[in-house]
Structure formats: structure tokens, C-alpha cells
Amino acid sequence: RAFWFEGTVNGLILMVNEVIVKPLQCVLIGRLITVVSSVDNVGKHELYMYGAGVACCSLIASSLMHPYMLAAHNLGLKLRIACISLVYRKILRLKLSEIEGISSGKILTLVTNDSNRFYEIPIMMHYP
């Protein structure tokens, strides 16, 4: 509930990259191969246009992925911090007699290892 807007913006950035830029790059590469392998004498202008299109698509794709990865890592850190805060608040609410039954190693494992999985969720959550 707290981080839905950031996740949606990340998903839209990724959607533009995956639905528009990458297929366009594949089409341009296909046309470039077709022009190069054709028997007809094709002008250099057409080759340069397709080559520039492929290069521009690569530039756009990398320009979209870098902000996406930065925002996804930041969102992952926020999720991890929220999870650790929940564990910390829960421990503070427990009575001393209940805390004695829980080993500190179990809490430490929960906070360190298990919370790291929240760091990876925003990067891969848009892929089925």
C-alpha cells in the first residue's frame, strides 16, 4: 500500500522499454540485414539510417534501464527497511518473558538474510 506509486512508475518505464524500444530495435536490425544481404545495389544512405536507428534504440534502452534500476534498488531498500522496522517494533512490544524464548540468532537471521529478499523484489516483480 505504501509503495504502489513507485512500483507503478517503474513498471511504466520498463513497459516502454520492453514493448516499444526493444521490438523496434529488432525490426531495424532485421531490415538492416535484409538491405545488406540484398543483391541490388543499395545506397549507403539507407544503411546508415538503419544503423543509426539501431544505435538510437540501444541508447534509448540503456537510458531507460538505468533510472529503472536505480528506482528499483531504492524501492527495494525501502521495502527492506520497512520489514526490519516491523520486526523491531514487534520485538519492542513483546514482554520480557516472551523474549527469553527467542534466540537472538533467530532474530538476527530474520533481519539480515531474510530481509535481503525484499531488496530483489522490485527488480523482478514486473516480469511474470
In tens, the pLDDT along 81-126 reads 888 888 888 888 888 877 777 777 877 877 777 777 877 888 888 8
Domain count, the chain: 1
pTM: 0.75
Boundaries of domain holding 89: 4-124
125 closest CA partner among 11, 2, 5, 6 = 11
5-54, pLDDT tens digit by residue?
Answer: 888 899 999 999 999 999 999 999 999 998 888 777 777 888 899 999 99
Which residues are CB-contacts of 54 (< 8 A; sequence separation ≥ 6)? 25, 28, 29, 32
